[in-house]
Structure 1
Amino acid sequence: MSNEQRELRIKKLETIRSHEIQVYPERYSTNYELNEVSVLEDGTSDIRVAGRIMSIRHFKKLSFITVSNIQASLQLLLKEDEVGEKLFNQFHNLFDIGDFIGVEGHLYTTKTKEKTLRVMNYVFLGKALRTLPEKWHGLSNVELRYRQRYLDLIMTQETQSRLLARTKMTRDIRRFFEDHNFLEVETPILQHSSSGALAKPFKTFHNSLDTELNLRIAPETYLKRLIVGGFTKVFEFAKCFRNEGLSPQHLQEFTMVEGYAAYWNYEDTMKLMREMILFILEQTFNSTTLTIQGQIIDFSLEWDIVSFKDIILRDTGIDIDLYPNVIDLYEETQRNNIDLEHEHIESLGRGNFIDLLYKKMCRPKLIKPTFLIQHPIDLSPLARANQHNPTLTDRFQLVVNGVEIINAYSELVDPLEQKRRLEVQAILKSNGDLEAMEMDEDYLTAMEYGMPPISGWGFGIERLLMVLTDSETIKDCVMFPLTKKQ
């Protein structure tokens, strides 16, 4: 935008002040939101609405103006013989696209069937000193769209509807859990140890306590402490932070919904999660059928349930049960010409290695909603071992269109077994596996006071929205994604 245009607008601003009109008034009393006007009957009068001017079509004695906000647009008709010459000319001399206006009038429908407000009076509500970009649509500089998300929201219909869906979805998830008698809680972001997931934390320093702290990677161990404390059904919308690589499916800062139910197992949670997804689809998207990557998926149909072992066998021909040692398994993948493209592959424990194999070779092929079950125990340091086969865990992941959207377990509640497993993780960490979990003595102490049977789940709001809105990248599902500092 040229400085010339900005200077021109500042001059208009000074002219407005010289007419003793407030440039930035403190309020305007509306009686309808823009999105409510379209359902009103023609002839409804005394309608007062406000919005940002997005277009002006000027004719000799009348003008059509479009005002909008995140939820709707509305066409206004400004006629010289209805508002008077003074107000009519004032509009054309002082208002620009991007400015805010408050209008009062009555409703009619034009010949082209567009609901339109005939303006009887208007008030200036705010001057935009910068012009809105003309060539924003399909803007190839994606970085700019993220950096100036407010402009993307003004200019791009798709961004508006996706981020509105995020807000609605959050509301609907809350309502779903509250209707199922779960209590919403909050747990700390600053933590001494980074437990609850396999991930690399962000570190920070607490000056008063003179100690290094981590930003949480998951709320898990604190939510479980609440179960020890007597809560039976809890959930949290938790901001989590993982200091890991960028990818179209990963964010370093994201919103996790995590919850726990005492006396449940993972199969109870499976039922709950299916019910939740169907509730979100009906409430937020008004349909249980979505088109994802050109494929129509009806979520109300039966979902597949497949084991880790079976899916790897199906897609690679390798039976992971035959390779209890990670080195043998690695050699078998090489014999099968499978390149896993990981720079520290030799440092991975067996669990993380199998996970990598699955993510590379199997997950992209899972399009319809699929519950993946029977994960190897070394991949799930906090999950309960299966009663019949202790090398597997009672756990599931929900995968849709090659993306994991929910992770859930029957939780490990045996403190001695938990300590043993965290010791194994600590050895992996000291051998260079950066994603291994660290020892958390405080959590182990809480466990020793006794835990009931528990099932828990976690999912990222952005990841879920990305899948349900068929977005190319997870950054599109965040209000303000992190960008490099200019």
Structure 2
Amino acid sequence: MIDSIQHKQHTKEESTLTKERRKKLQHIRKNCDSNGYPNSFRRDNFANDLQVQFSNHTKEELKELKYSVSVAGRIIAKRGPFLVIQEISGCIQIYLNKSLQTELKNRYKQLDIGDIIGIKGILDKSKKGDLYIKTKTYELLTKALHPLPEKFHGLSDQEIRYRHRYIDLIVNKKSREVFIIRSKLIAAIRSFMISNNYIEVETPMMHTIPGGATARPFVTHHNALNSDLYLRIAPELYLKQLVIGGFERVFEINRNFRNEGLSPHHNPEFTTIEFYQAYSDYNELMNFTENMLSSISLEVLGSTSISYGNIKIEFSGPYVRMSMFESIRRYNINHAQIQSLKEKDLQNHNLMLRIAKSIDITIERFFTCGQLIEKIFTETVEPYLIQPTFITDYPADISPLARHNDKNPFFSDRFEFFVAGHEIANGFSELNDSEDQNARFKSQVYAKNAGDDEAMYYDADYITALEYGLPPTAGQGIGIDRLVMLFSDTHNIKDVILFPAMRK
């Protein structure tokens, strides 16, 4: 009830302030030689460049230098004769003498927090050593009609941050830094891939058959073709067709869409890099991943050691590698049944079912041995994989696109990569036997008919492509959003996606 009253009071106050700002805009339109939104001012300088270039100059040196500047930005603070403006590189103070203050008040009926202005003047320094600009000329470039929030924390403000990201970016320095890190991270990954002779490509976002992963798709309809299409859950099958065609190293950075629940680590649309390398296997891709992450962490953050919450994560490598079976035994030291397991016991469905039930895992009637093992792993191991860790040897029945392990075909040559208790990447030696892939697709269809909504469809076109010959190949997908979370020390995926999915 109190929150409701406060919300109504805030809405009333904001409405009053907005009305006052609209009156100022009408005054400007009527009395100034402008429509209130001119586009003739040009900026020559950025705040951060000026701070870097002149921060060590004394006030006397600046006075002698008489350095002229032209800056533009949004007013975020007013301190007597000083304004603070903010732009993409940072902030800088602006000084207005009494004459200019009076002129500005008459011309614009006073400037407001949030207004965007252009300033030309001379660099100077305060007695405290702060750089500022002594204004010679000014121009209001954009009148902000809504006031900015004064406080920006708590649950209700999180809603504002996610639904109105532009407000978040204006007032929240941490958010701006997160998305700058995101941009640098993607650029560093792209540069790393190109430097390793990969070709960047684009593949369709709408598929006639959802493939490349086990997930529930979004469905849309193409009117002209009068057919349903699926937003892609993964680009894998298209990328491997390009390897078949002779593009032996390809990558794509783009969105995937999965019709799944929301959580601090899940958004229905998310960004990945997916890449494929001919004449390679999953062991080589693990080495490649170590090199990539150590390289880009150094480039983006200046260190291979990063802070995530209250832990330090080391990306320099080498990373821990262990099989899924080894990890389950290691992290269930007090579970007698698990400690007595032998590798061959993983194929005993009744035994795996009993162990899964003993740790209160929800069981679906269609679960295979592999699905039960994966659930046991997810519940009892995954949260404890804090430092970069590769988990290898996934059951083949949950890896329908991965190559069987030559020593034990119950397993596949597949790994998943974990940091801070969450999966970051998935990679494997690709299945290039068209007859084996055909049988695996049929098994997936059987699973779907048995009730597994995330099982794959049968893709006849992809089988035909495989029959032309896919060279021995390894491929991997890395979740960009989760990687950004690590690099920016944020703990909700909505904080690293500019416009996350929200309830209506």
TM class by shorter chain equals over 0.9
Which residue does the alignment assign to 2:44? 31
Q: CA RMSD in A?
A: 1.8
Where 2:141 maps in the other structure, the secondary structure is strand
2:85 to 48, 53, 67: 67
Q: Distance in 2 between matches of 1:352 and 1:70?
A: 48
Q: Residues 411-443 of structure 1, C-alpha deviation per residue, up to 9 Å, x if partnerless?
A: 111101111111111111110011111111111
Q: Which residue of 1 aligns with 2:184?
A: 168
The answer to whether the Cα contact below 8 Å between 2:430 and 2:474 also exists between their aligned partners in 1 is: yes
Distance 1:323 1:305, change over 3 A: closer
How far the C-alpha of 1:382 sits from its partner, in A, is 0.6
Distance 1:321 1:109 in 2: 75
Long gaps (5+) in structure 1: none
**Per-residue deviation, residues 118-140 of structure 1 (Å, max 9, x unmatched):** 22211111001111111224564
Partner of 2:290: helix, strand, or coil?
Answer: helix
Distance 2:185 2:246 in 1: 29
Aligned to 2:94: 76
1:350 to 357, 364, 369: 369
* Shift of residue 329, structure 1, vs aligned partner: 0.8
Q: Which runs of 5+ in 2 are unaligned?
A: 1-10
Query: How far apart are the structure 2 equivalents of 1:282 and 1:221?
Result: 33
Residue 8 (structure 1) shift: 0.7
Aligned equivalent of 1:216: 232
Q: 2:27 aligns with which of 15, 18, 28?
A: 15
Shift of 1:166: 0.8
**CA deviations over 1:8-66 (Å, ceiling 9, x no partner):** 101111111223242111242111223322112243622111101001112xxxx1111
Aligned to 1:49: 71
Establish whether residue 150 from structure 1 lines up as the match of residue 172 from structure 2. Answer: no
Deviations 1:89-133, CA, capped at 9 Å, x for gaps:
447733110000011122233233322222221111100111111
SS of residue in 2 equivalent to 1:97: coil
Residues 214 and 454, structure 2, Cα contact 8 Å, conserved in 1: yes
Aligned residues with identical type, % of pairs: 39
1:244 to 234, 254, 260: 260
**AA aligned opposite 1:4:** T
Quote the residue 1:270 is aligned against: 286
Q: Equivalent residue for 1:109?
A: 125
In structure 2, do the counterparts of structure 1 residues 358 and 33 end up closer, same or farther at CA, with 3 Å as the change threshold?
same
> For residue 274 of structure 1, what is the amino acid of its counterpart?
E
CA distance in 2, matches of 1:91, 1:327: 82
Matched, 1:132 2:145: no
Asked if 1 retains the 8 angstrom alpha-carbon contact of 2:294 and 2:317, the reply is no
Q: What TM-score does the superposition give when structure 2 sets the normalisation length?
A: 0.90
Q: Partners of 1:90 and 1:309 in 2: how far apart?
A: 76
Quickly say closer, same or farther: Cα 1:139–1:428, change in 2 above 3 A: closer
Shift of 1:156: 1.2
Equivalent of 1:329, from 321, 343, 352? Answer: 352
Aligned amino acid, residue 68 of structure 2: D
1:90 and 1:482 map into 2 onto residues whose CA distance is: 45
- Total equivalences in the alignment: 475
TM-score, reference length from structure 1: 0.94
Residue identity opposite 1:221 in structure 2 = L
Distance 2:422 2:83 in 1: 44
**Change over 3 Å in CA distance of 1:347–1:21 after alignment to 2:** farther
Using the TM superposition, name which of 234-243 and 324-333 deviates more. Answer: 324-333
Match for 1:161: what amino acid? E
Distance 1:329 1:433 in 2: 19
Q: What amino acid maps onto 1:17 in structure 2? A: R
Distance in 1, Cα, partners of 2:110 & 2:229: 54
